[in-house]
Amino acid sequence: MRRAVCPGSFDPITNGHLDIIARASRLYDEVYVAVMINKAKQGLFTIEERIALIEQVTSEFGNVRVEAFHGLLVDFCKQRDIPAIVKGLRAVSDFDYELQMAQMNNGLSGVETLFVPTNPTYSFLSSSLVKEVAQWGGDVSHLVPEPVLRSLREKLGRG
């Protein structure tokens, strides 16, 4: 059983994230989406809301499991026998940090990181930008899945 993990905060999941997860789900038998619990940062969506939204929009793939985690990603991987991390790369600016993390994770545990070039349509996309635009009433309907759009509108009363 070939497993991979797509880690992130997913606050909330965007079409860019969903594209990476969809492509990973076609490459691996089982894909874990690991939602990072970050006590230091109060997100717009709770961990439970993020997990529910991800489960809703990935259920059609049939091989995606969504779980919260805190601490080291390599420990999450070790506990579930996951040898590969799959991450999207939007631009060269992502690469510096991602390379450092990949080398650290591989050094710590042997877990490999595979990079998927994002669909150019989503190169500019991030959760924080979506939240920023939505809270000022901008149209993000083409940037997030429908259930996320509904939740954003409920939370922000706009967008």
Ligand X SMILES: O=C(O)c1ccc2[nH]nc(Br)c2c1
How many residues in the chain?
Answer: 159
Interface residue with ligand X among 118, 131, 144, 159 (CB under 6 A) is 118
Q: Return the number of the residue (17 or 57) whose C-beta is nearest ligand X.
A: 17
Chain-centroid distance, C-alpha 60: 17
Marked catalytic residue, from 23, 25, 50, 127: 127
Q: Is 50 a catalytic residue?
A: no
User: Contact region for ligand X (CB under 6 A) — 7-15, 51-59, 70-78, 137-145?
Assistant: 7-15
The one-letter code for the residue type at 98 is E
**Catalytic status, residue 90:** yes
Write the interaction track for ligand X spanning residues 122-151; mark x where CB under 6 A is met and - where it is not: ----xx------------------------
148 neighbors 58 (Cβ within 8 angstroms): no
- State both tokens at 112: 């490999």
Provide the terminal-to-terminal Cα distance of the chain, rounded to the nearest Å: 42
Cross-strand partners of 66: 33
Closer CB to ligand X, 117 or 137, in the complex: 117
Binding of residue 17 to ligand X (CB under 6 A): yes
Cβ-in-10-Å burial (0-12, 13-18, 19+) of 91 comes to exposed
Residue 122 Cβ vs ligand X, minimum distance, rounded to whole Å: 6
Known binding-site positions for ATP:
9-10, 17, 88-90, 98, 122-128
